[in-house]
Amino acid sequence: MDQLSTFYRYERKFVVPNNSYPLSLFLKTLQVPFREAYPSRIINNVYFDTLDFQSFAENVYGKADRVKVRMRWYDESVNNKEYQPQLEFKIKRALLGTKKTYALNAVEDRKELVDKQAIYQNLATSGLPPNVLDDLKVRQPVLINRYKRKYFESLNNRIRITLDTDISFRRFSAINNAKGHSYNTSNILELKYDMAQEELGRKIGNMLPFRLSKFSKYQMGMERTFFYYAH
């Protein structure tokens, strides 16, 4: 089923220097205080790209309107029996973003989530719309990304913050290395709010003692695991 978000939102990213920073305590002291909204969890992504790496190039050159395609799942399984992956088209329009999300078939064995043929079989049998299947025909899985995410929400429920730590990457073909490679990646905080909350969101962003960044997990992962010119 197509679950297109009905709104675009801002997603401003900041670099958090290290794991020892008392972020939870700091967020409680802001003029608009935050609380932890959900239990933290491990997020996994398989990114798809065209043969000529169109999505990667669009990130590198900062194209205003661009799309990234990924399959996402969480490490916890449902009743310890199944994983529920989903396909996401993350759509960027200048400073705003939204995404289309499609539920895929549940998977019992985690290995099926990192096996190319098993992924293709899942995509083909999950009842995806024809236009989505057509788009996937020109893409292939290229990168696996994994990180731990903490969730925070303002007490007025208008602003969200996520903190991603232990970020790691590996080329999709390197499936024999289950842990991936971290490459000393910084922790990334994302400040998220819809267009109606732009003034408040900017105000909170200015309170954060971190460096604003255009960080892209996909771009960094490709640079550090795929291309020889990576540094």
Q: What is the pLDDT of residues 87-101, one digit of tens each?
A: 999 999 988 999 999
pLDDT of amino acid 131: 96
Domains of the chain, earliest start first: 9-225 (2.40.320.10)
Q: What is the pLDDT of residues 161-194, one digit of tens each?
A: 999 999 999 999 755 555 667 777 889 999 999 9
**175 vs 20, higher pLDDT:** 20
* Spatial separation of the C-alpha atoms in residues 136 and 147, rounded to whole Å: 25
pLDDT of amino acid 3: 43
